[in-house]
Amino acid sequence: MQEAPAVADRPTLPSWIRSQLPSGPRYVDLRSTLERLRLGTVCREARCPNLAECWSAGTATIMLLGTSCTRRCGFCAVETRWPRGVVDREEPARVAEAIAHSGLSYVVLTQVCRDDLPDGGAAHLARTVRELRERAPHVRIELLIGDLGGSEPALRTVLAEPPEVLAHNIETVRSLSDRVRDRRAAYDLSLEVLGRAKEIGPRRLVTKSSIMLGLGETDAEVAETLDDLRRSHVDLVTFGQYLRPTVAHVPVTRFVPPKEFDRWAAEARSRGFAGVASGPLVRSSYRADELFERAYLGRDR
């Protein structure tokens, strides 16, 4: 069965938005490992258009704290459910085993929002990073977190086991945030989380955020968002085309051509971002290792 993600907009997709079919031994091996260890991925749960490319290259973004989210954002395909505080205590060890087996040098871990937990899942995230450091100390870790309900103690818990990169996505511009995101999420709260992470975390901590285009934002609003992210001392930023997962989700207002993504990349660099990834199929974790290495290790593949 083909696992190329279904997208509600597919009949009208422009020529520059095409996803490949999965293939190759690394795809098969990674899929087998994830299934054996009962691990969820944002690639599959959020119907990412890059699943085939990334899995065929042996990379995936592991989703922590289960595959059901307590929030219902208008852009996201992840299932909404209230897990009633249930947490799989063995998940951190299984994640560490999967990554150690994979031989990866860079891994992205993300989470579903868990408003049913007092700390938003912060202790579980920290435990996963700690397990991974013990099993695969050579691996660089990027951790994509939710807003943790705006709790500073929860953020401190996460940063007690700091990753190399701490990511939190602003998602869209201020004027669209209430319509696109769950009511418990907020534009200013996201900026606050990113700014606090810089204050609380180690000096070497790199922060990252992501913006979707094609939701009805104006150029002035995108520029304002970039300025807001820089004021929060965000280091890395990505731009991608929003693709509607189902007809029940927020519609696409337009498909942004590649040249506009190039322009926004240049705008972001001119504002001082250390690294930028921008393109129709770029997502927050897309080729995250390459973005980090180009920005901080001087490696240009």
Report the mean per-residue pLDDT for the chain.
85
Per the structure, the count of domains in the chain is 1
In a domain, 247, yes or no: yes
Nearest to 187 by CA among 217, 157, 143: 217
Segment 149-200, tens digit of pLDDT: 999 999 999 999 999 999 999 999 999 999 999 999 999 999 999 999 999 9
In a domain, 189, yes or no: yes
User: What is d(CA 164, CA 284) in angstroms, rounded to the nearest whole number?
Assistant: 15
In a domain, 14, yes or no: no
In sequence order, the 6+-apart residues with CB closer than 8 A to the CB of 263 are none
| pTM for this predicted structure | 0.85
User: What is d(CA 12, CA 225) in angstroms, rounded to the nearest whole number?
Assistant: 28
User: What is d(CA 74, CA 257) in angstroms, rounded to the nearest whole number?
Assistant: 23
Tokens at 295, concatenated = 């920005």
Tokens at 154, concatenated = 């929860």
**What number of other Cβ atoms are within 10 A of residue 47's Cβ?**
19
End-to-end CA distance of the chain: 33
CATH number at residue 176: 3.20.20.70
**148 residue type, one letter:** L
User: What is d(CA 43, CA 276) in angstroms, rounded to the nearest whole number?
Assistant: 21
Distances (CA, A) of 95 to 45, 63, 158, 229, 292: 17, 9, 17, 31, 22
User: What is d(CA 76, CA 157) in angstroms, rounded to the nearest whole number?
Assistant: 27
| Confidence (pLDDT) at 99 | 85
Question: Containing domain of residue 121, as a range?
Answer: 19-296
| Confidence (pLDDT) at 106 | 86
Work out the angle between the directed axes of helices 122-135 and 91-102 (0-180°, nearest 10): 40
Residue 249 above 70 pLDDT?
yes
User: What is d(CA 4, CA 21) in angstroms, rounded to the nearest whole number?
Assistant: 6
In a domain, 186, yes or no: yes
In a domain, 9, yes or no: no
In a domain, 65, yes or no: yes
In a domain, 8, yes or no: no
Contact 207, 197 (CB under 8 A): yes
Pairing verdict, β 140-144 and 165-167: parallel
As a whole number, mean pLDDT of residues 61-77 equals 90
Distances (CA, A) of 64 to 77, 110, 237, 299: 16, 6, 22, 29
In a domain, 124, yes or no: yes
As a whole number, mean pLDDT of residues 243-256 equals 93
